[in-house]
A and B are shown apart, each in its own frame.
Chain A
Amino acid sequence: MTENRQDEALEFEAFEFPPDPADDFEWVPATPEVAGNLAEPPEADWRTAGTSRRAFLRGVVCSGVAVSASAYMFTVQSGEARAAVRGVERLISLNVNGKTRRVDVPPSETLAQTIRYRLGLTGTKIGCNRAECGACTVLADDTPIYSCSTLTHQARGSKITTVEGVAAPDGTLHPVQQAFIDELGPQCGFCTPGQVMAAVGLLKKNPKPTVDEARRAMSGNLCRCGAYPHYLAGVMRAAGRA
């Protein structure tokens, strides 16, 4: 036993996995070269012994041509914001979860951005920002919409409901939320707010869906964990059909 002093300089031995009896391999730490993290590009002749002049030229020419002739192809990947039109913010009223909120919003801002970053309702998630995954699903006048692909200005005059707005004021969960817990719907949970909203929207329009109707209604919401059977069981339980 040693005295445990938190302020003492602690030694952190490099952790090694206990040897597995099946292992027959030595561990090779990544070298700077393989890690691709050279502070300076390597000076050595990068042409390999086996690289022919033809292959060398092919590489350079292909890349060079592309740079000059197809510059648009080599713009940055994360250029989504580039297209955003700058505009003057306008003060608008939004009805979110039964409350009227006054917010300054530029014309290019999406409802997901406004909900998350201006109103602080971070339950609504952005998984793809291009209407593919449904993590951002909210209700507009009880209809599920992708808030990442809806401009906030378009949502003026609609009653917006987010995942924070479906439980009762006393905290009692919405039947869909409770059913998702009972059926262990969520795994990682990132898509769950969108799944909840899609299910709530479905049951508002069709309180007693068949499994197939539920499956189709929920099909705009991706779950990479593959929890579809559990979410569906939750929808059917919430509809009183489980």
Chain B
Amino acid sequence: MAYTLLGKNFTPPDVHAKVTGAAKYSEDFRADGMVFLKTYPSPMPHAKVKAIDAEAVKKMPGVVGVLLPSEIKQPKDAGHAILTSYPVFVGQPILAVAAKTEQQAEDAIQAVKVDLEPLPFVTDPLESLKPDGPNALVGGNVANQRGVKLQQIKWTGKDFARAGDDTLPMGKPAIEWSFGDLEAGFAKSKVIVEESFVSAANAHHAMEPRSAAAYWEGGKCNVWGSTQSSSFAVPSLAKYIGIKPTDLNLVSEFCGGGFGGKAYSYPLMALPALMSKKLNGRPVLMRVSRADEFINGSARAAFQGWVKIGFGADGRVLALDSYIVQDNGSTAGFWDFQNFGMASSVILQPVAMRFRGIPVLTNTPPKGAQRGPGENQTANILEPLLDKAARELGIDRLALRLANAPGGGPNGKIGPKQAPLTSAFLKEGLEQAAAKWGYAEKIKKTGKQANGKIRSVGIGQAYHAAGYNGFDGMVRITPDGKLHIHTGVGNLGTYSYGATSRVAAEVLGYDWNNTVIERGGTLKAMPFNIGQFGSNTCFTMTRTNYAGAMDAKQKLLEIGAAMLGGKADDYKLDKERVVAKNGSGSITFAQAAKKAIELGGKYSGHEVDEKLNGLTKAAVGMIKGTGLIGVAKDKLPKNGTVPALAAAFIEIELDPETGKVEILDYMGVADVGQVLHPQGLDAQIRGGAVMGFGLAAMERYIYDPAYGRPNAIGFYQAKPPTYLDVPAELGSLAVEGAVDEQNPVGAKGIGEPVQGSASSAWLSAVSDALDGHMFNRVPVVADMIVNVVAKQPQSYRPLQVNNQ
């Protein structure tokens, strides 16, 4: 479909502030009388606080307040504590001090005396599952916020003995599902591959540490927070603070990176507000350091797993059996392990499948969603394994993927219920990218080169669920004729807040220069929107903005009829005017807005659909009477899971002497349906690839198993990629002809699988360069490559995680 705005580049309105330094992140706010907050981090990975002596601290120079865990009423479903007397990982905040200067606050923290009784701790999930293994928490060793209550599960000595050292032991799982006849599938298979594997945890490490500031005034709490989301963060943050959402003013105009780690609110964001409350509303700033960000930030869950896949002669997956042990961190965690089941069922569309999994608690920082949580680990494990099968079957690696990839539109199934996918064009993406990139020519040039290096090619694929429904959209036309698009989605840096807002302008036929995006804080009157996470913005927010704009459109037509006579059906919108179809007259949108204010009721926001979310109603209340208000809940039909799908092709040269891998050429392809913002899509495909190379080759958690302390905190240890780790140019492509029929403009999201497709392509290429060697471990770092070339043993134990 031909659009005026969609599919075309635009300059996002916030980018100017980013290049001039005018963009304000949460630590950039200052206020008169502001004091500084520091926390006392637990020195132990698991302990019981027996006593806190902070009396002397209260008399130290500059100290204005001390906040203890007993003073905070913490929500029971918080996920993890704001302050705690029962720390479960090194660094967990126990108490907080506020002082007039940051140095005074730090001095006070140094002077606090906390008496701790150490408790047993564990950093490797399999250790906790052993019959006499320690539990990370007093109440048990297994839990997950999705489907797994806190409990103790121990595997038997036989479970471990039967497996041996190289294979994942598989005792009692916490979650199990299956579909199809697994045994029959394996019986029919020509080739069966079976591997145990490890995927390391890694910290999010957004560039902006999660600093926050707060003050109270007139009974309302004002918070500057670093969050990917705007309105979605409000109810949960209000709950942490203990107030009604309407009493919270959250400023979230910019977020210096999140990748899932700042999906919406988090307990630490509430701390300055709670301290400020104790100080009668005095402004409080909590400046978070890089080390604090590692501790209080979030991380991708590690996997220890096993998978067995049966292939037909043509490469079709006939049976897939899997088991994932997830490092759940010390809290409720995220459901990465379950996403292994979902992602493999989408990418491979197996005829029969079983998934088993267990989320095991460890005394490490809370694990949260990180870009493609579970799905990208899945891609990293599966893609080299598909290559192995292709080699054994004697078929092309691309052909094997094409035999399984969902394509052709509304085809494909997902998960245990084999529920439908709304649209899938992964197959087309593989074909189009292979042709454009020259896959067939490139594989002919693989092998040992004259320079001594080994050239190889890799292919990657990844999936993530990418869209929700049921949120609210809101627009306002003011008497000056401008369209104000109110969005609460958040600003992660993808510019999709802008790309999806353009749908409202498209529906109403607006000149983009005559629109204003209202966003970035509660005071901007934000409707209740889903947050900016889960690759969902493009699908979900195009729907809400479409709904809000369609409501405005109907009201414009009705006002046209009220002012010029006849029925709404007698009118149409054209060039920011309401025009009679018979040419008898017209009014401007500016005139219609004035009339809306005059008419009141639903036209001006004085009456609203009672089914709107409470926060949307509150937002309408802030702007009622200022123009024509279009506001509506997204009630468009949706039947199926929206899949974001991506594939990647990579050409590398591996130096067998040093283990260094150089990327020669790369092409990422994304199935996003209708492209909304080509330049923004390119930025996601390329940026996701860069982050993916870090996931595949560099980043990992390292914990000291003796003391439960982290040893990869700083950037130089966590090793995110730099300019020198990636090529200057990375190819990007959107699948041509793709459209998601369950979205009013055919669009869907992409943010996450563009990382997993890149990382898995890199791993596939490295394995291919080494004659199909299966590392079964991510990341694959240079010394591992050198060990393989030199036929030396690796420095880690099989299945060891977090301590490598």
Q: Which residues of A contact B (CB under 8 A)?
A: 1-6, 10-13, 15, 17-18, 20-42, 44, 46, 48-52, 54-56, 58-60, 62-64, 66-67, 70, 73-82, 84, 86, 116-117, 120-130, 132-133, 135, 162-164, 167, 173, 177, 180-181, 184-193, 196, 211-212, 215-216, 218-219, 221-230, 232
A77 with B291: CB separation less than 8 A: yes
Asked if B794 is at the interface of the complex by the 8 Å CB criterion, the answer is: no
Given contacts A132-B290, A181-B15, A189-B17, 8 further A-B contacts (CB under 8 A): A31-B143, A41-B49, A82-B106, A126-B27, A190-B208, A196-B21, A219-B722, A229-B726
* Residue in A30, A38, A76 whose CB lies within 8 Å of B86: A38
| A55/B133 in contact, CB under 8 A | yes
With A and B bound together, what is the CA distance between A177 and B20 in angstroms?
7
Q: What CA separation (Å) do A132 and B291 show in the bound complex? A: 12
Interface of chain A, helix or strand or loop or mixed?
Answer: loop
Among A2, A40, A42, A188: residue with most chain B CB under 10 A = A188
Residues in A whose Cβ lies below 8 Å from that of B69:
39
In the assembled complex, B85 has its CB within 8 A of some CB on chain A: yes
Whether, in the assembled complex, B408 has its beta carbon less than 8 Å from a beta carbon of chain A, the answer is no
Residues of A within 8 A of B143 (CB): 28, 30-31, 34
B207 interface neighbour in A25, A63, A127, A180, Cβ under 8 Å: A127
Which B residues touch A2, using CB under 8 A?
607-608, 610
Pairwise interchain contact A37-B82, C-beta atoms closer than 8 A: yes
Q: Are A73 and B207 in contact (CB under 8 A)?
A: no
Does B620 sit within 8 A of A, measured CB to CB?
Answer: yes
| Interface pair B419/A77, CB less than 8 Å apart | no
Identify B134's interface contact among A12, A51, A86, A226, CB under 8 A.
Answer: A51
Residues of A within 8 A of B147 (CB): 25-28
Contact A29 B207 (CB under 8 A): no
**A157: min CB distance to chain B, Å:** 24
Contact check, B138 vs A44: say whether CB atoms are below 8 A apart. Answer: yes
How far apart are B93's CB and chain A's nearest CB, in angstroms?
10
Check: B186 CB closer than 8 A to any chain A CB.
no
Chain B: which residue is nearest A9 at the CB level? B244
Shortest Cβ gap from A72 to chain B (Å): 10
Q: Give per-residue flags for B702-722: 1 if the beta carbon is below 8 A from chain A beta carbons, else 0.
A: 000011010001111000111
Residue pair A80, B417 in contact (C-beta under 8 Å): no
Which of A12, A48, A63, A212 has a CB less than 8 Å from the CB of B118?
A: A63
- Is A31's CB under 8 angstroms from B150's CB? yes
Nearest B residue to A54 via CB reads B132
B419 in contact with A35 (CB, 8 Å) = no
Task: Report if A50-B79 is in contact (Cβ < 8 Å); known contacts: A4-B607, A74-B43.
Answer: no
Q: Does B465 contact A (CB under 8 A)?
A: yes
A180 touches B614 (CB 8 A): no
Do B152 and A35 touch across chains, with their CB atoms under 8 A apart? no
**Are B132 and A190 touching (Cβ within 8 A)?**
no
Residue B582 at the chain A interface, CB threshold 8 Å:
no
Bound CA span A217–B18, Å: 21
Which residues of chain B are within 8 angstroms of A77 by Cβ–Cβ distance? 41, 90-91, 291-292, 295, 713
B342 smallest CB distance to A (angstroms): 6
Interfacial chain B residues near A37, Cβ < 8 Å: 74, 76, 78, 80-82, 84, 86
- Given A1-B602, A21-B640, A184-B680, do A216 and B724 touch, yes or no (CB 8 Å)? yes
Judging by beta carbons under 8 Å apart, are B38 and A222 in contact? no
Majority DSSP secondary structure for residues of B touching A: loop
Q: Is the CB of A36 within 8 A of B87?
A: yes
Distance between A77 CB and nearest chain B CB, rounded to angstroms: 5
Given A2-B610, A224-B691: A36 in contact with B84 (beta carbons within 8 A): yes
Known: A135-B207, A189-B256, A224-B207. A41 touches B86 (CB 8 A): yes
Q: Mark B205-236, 1 if CB is under 8 A from A, else 0.
A: 11111000000000000000000000000010
Contact at A38–B84, with CB atoms within 8 Å?
A: yes
Contact digits for B684-711, partner A, Cβ 8 Å, 1 yes 0 no: 0011111100000000000000110100
Closest to A1 in B: B607
Give A115 Cβ to nearest chain B Cβ, in Å: 10
Is the CB–CB distance between B139 and A228 below 8 Å?
no
Contact: B207 with A35, CB < 8 Å? no
When the two chains form their complex, are residues A229 and B730 in contact, meaning their CB atoms are under 8 A apart?
Answer: yes
Complex CA gap A187/B687 in Å reads 9
* Nearest residue, chain B, Cβ from A113: B102
Name which residue of chain A comes closest to B694, CB basis: A226
Q: Which of B331, B723, B729 has the most CB of A within 10 A?
A: B723
> Least Cβ distance of A38 to chain B in Å?
5
CB of B340 closer than 8 Å to a CB of A:
no
Q: Is B589 part of the binding interface, using a Cβ–Cβ cutoff of 8 Å?
A: no
Per the bound structure, the CA–CA distance linking A86 and B107 in Å amounts to 11
Chain B residues with Cβ below 8 Å from A32 are 76
B8 in the interface, Cβ–Cβ < 8 Å? no
Q: How far is the CB of A121 from chain B (nearest CB, A)?
A: 7
Known A-B contacts A5-B621, A22-B415; the reply to A181 vs B85 at CB < 8 A is: no
Instruction: Tell me whether B469 is interfacial, beta carbon within 8 Å.
Output: yes
> Chain A's nearest CB lies how many Å from the CB of B43?
3
By beta carbon, the residue of chain A nearest B715 is A132
**How far does the Cβ of A136 sit from chain B's closest Cβ, in whole Å?**
11
Question: Are B208 and A188 touching (Cβ within 8 A)?
Answer: yes
Distance A125 CA – B24 CA, assembled complex (angstroms): 10
User: How far, in angstroms, from A133 to B14 measured CA to CA in the complex?
Assistant: 23
Q: Please, which residues of chain A bring their CB within 8 A of the CB of B139?
A: 31, 33-34, 42
Q: Mark B117-157, 1 if CB is under 8 A from A, else 0.
A: 01111000000000111110111110111111110101000
Question: Are B21 and A127 within 8 A (Cβ)?
Answer: no
Contacts of A177 in B (CB 8 A): 19-20
Q: Which residue on B lies nearest to A56, using beta carbons?
A: B120
A25-B338, A80-B289 given; A187·B683 CB < 8 A: yes
How far, in angstroms, from A100 to B148 measured CA to CA in the complex?
Answer: 62
Q: Are A22 and B683 in contact (CB under 8 A)?
A: no
Q: Which chain B residues in 539-596 approach chain A with CB under 8 Å?
A: none
Q: In the complex, what residues of A have CB within 8 A of residue B79's CB?
A: 30, 35
Residues of A within 8 A of B601 (CB): 1
Query: Which residues of A have CB within 8 Å of B417?
Result: 21-22, 24
Closest partner residue, chain B, to A60 (CB atom): B118
Query: Contacts A120-B30, A121-B21 hold; do A215 and B138 have CB atoms under 8 A apart?
Result: no
Within the complex, which residue of A4, A29, A186 is in contact with B145, where a contact is CB–CB below 8 Å?
A29
Between-chain CB contacts (< 8 Å), 9 pairs: A15-B613, A22-B414, A25-B147, A74-B43, A75-B43, A123-B21, A123-B23, A189-B23, A222-B207
Partner pick for B106 among A3, A78, A123, A192, CB 8 A cutoff: A78
- Find the A residue at minimum CB distance from B290: A128
Q: How far is the CB of A171 from chain B (nearest CB, A)?
A: 9
**Alpha-carbon gap, A223 to B152, bound state (A):** 41
Contact B687 A227, beta carbon cutoff 8 Å: yes
Contacts of B39 in A (CB 8 A): 78
What's the Cα separation between A164 and B254 when bound, in Å? 18
Most buried by B among A4, A26, A132, A196: A4
A236 vs B655: C-alpha distance when bound (angstroms) = 30
Q: Determine whether B403 belongs to the interface, using a CB cutoff of 8 Å to chain A.
A: no
Chain B residues near A227 (CB-CB < 8 A): 683, 686-687, 690
The answer to whether A215 and B724 touch across the interface, beta carbons within 8 angstroms, is yes
